[in-house]
Structure 1
Amino acid sequence: MILLTSELRARLLANNHALRAAQRENRREPDHVPVVKLFNPCGAATWLISDIDPDGDLMFGLADLGFGAPELGYVSLSELASVRLPLGLGIERDLFFEGRFPLSTYADAARRTGSIMEGIGLLHALPKGGAT
């Protein structure tokens, strides 16, 4: 599976450019809505990605490896793409994911519940426009 389409890559790069511009201008850094959700179809690992460096590999987002401690940080696209799982599977992109909240809101919910997926369930159960 192609983890990032050209449209998703362009959105991630635009978020990175906005972040860099805010840093250069000493403005508050934007809290982007995640653009893409990646996951391990054979396990609990999940990533919500909000931007990608111009190098096209280093992505920033919320990572949950399934150990109850989701955290914000960087992950390599090439490393995720190289993962080989049972039955010839690899890391996949959730084709139906649409971020509804800023990344910090997903991070807070994931930390409260111990997982990104539980956090998403909590957030999406809220009335539209609500947050924790």
Structure 2
Amino acid sequence: MILITEELRARLLANGAAEAETDHYPVVKLFDPTGAATWLLTELDADGDTLFGLCDLGFGYPELGSVSLAELQSVKGRLGLGIERDLYFEVRFPLSVYAEAARLSGHITEAEQLLRQAATALSNAIPELSPDAARERR
């Protein structure tokens, strides 16, 4: 299976080239069909190999980070199966929401209730006020 089509590559590269730090929506979901590893990827560096996104190797600690496309393509898991692209993945939230839901559940999830709970938690997050701003609010 082709993990990253030309269309997906173009979108990932565009996100990776963005000047401003952005909470991108995942472009592609990859997974190990014989294990628990899953990746929600948002960006591709100009080197054409370094992907960024939410990485879950199935140990209960998903994290934001980078992964090599070449390494993903070379993986052969149980039964000799490689990593696959989820053809039915429908993105509904930015990566931060998936990351928060994964933090809450211990794995990447598409459970609607958890994603909505994470989105609500993130929207209610109160940024830390500077000492000057805090004094002005009193």
Q: Which residue of 1 aligns with 2:127?
A: none
Matched-pair contact (CA < 8 Å) for 2:55–2:63: yes
Q: Which residue of 2 aligns with 1:25?
A: none
What secondary structure, in the 3-state scheme, does the structure 2 residue paired with 1:32 have? coil
Cα distance in 2, alignment partners of residues 2 and 111 from structure 1: 29
Matched-pair contact (CA < 8 Å) for 1:62–1:71: yes
Q: Which residue of 2 aligns with 1:11?
A: 11
Instruction: Give the counterpart letter for 2:50 in structure 1.
Output: L
Matched-pair contact (CA < 8 Å) for 1:109–1:123: no
CA RMSD of aligned residues (A): 1.8
- The ranges of structure 1 where at least 4 consecutive aligned residues each deviate by more than 6 angstroms after the TM superposition are none
C-alpha change, 1:74 and 1:123, in structure 2 (3 Å) is farther
One of 76, 84, 102 as aligned partner of 2:68 = 76
What secondary structure, in the 3-state scheme, does the structure 2 residue paired with 1:73 have? strand
Alignment: residue pair count: 120
If the length of structure 2 is used for normalisation, what is the TM-score? 0.81
Q: Which residue of 1 aligns with 2:111?
A: 121
> What is the deviation of 1:85?
1.8
Cα distance in 1, alignment partners of residues 70 and 16 from structure 2: 18
Structure 1 position 59 matched with structure 2 position 47: no
Structure 1 position 102 matched with structure 2 position 77: no
1:80-95 aligned within 5 A: 80-95=72-87
Instruction: Give the counterpart letter for 2:82 in structure 1.
Output: G
Cα distance in 2, alignment partners of residues 38 and 86 from structure 1: 16
Structure with bigger gyration radius = 2
Matched-pair contact (CA < 8 Å) for 2:101–2:114: no
Instruction: Give the counterpart letter for 2:9 in structure 1.
Output: R
Q: Which residue of 1 aligns with 2:119?
A: 131
Unmatched runs of 5 consecutive residues or more in structure 1: 23-28
If the length of structure 1 is used for normalisation, what is the TM-score? 0.84
Unmatched runs of 5 consecutive residues or more in structure 2: 121-138
Instruction: Give the counterpart letter for 2:15 in structure 1.
Output: N
> What is the deviation of 1:124?
7.3
Cα distance in 2, alignment partners of residues 107 and 3 from structure 1: 22
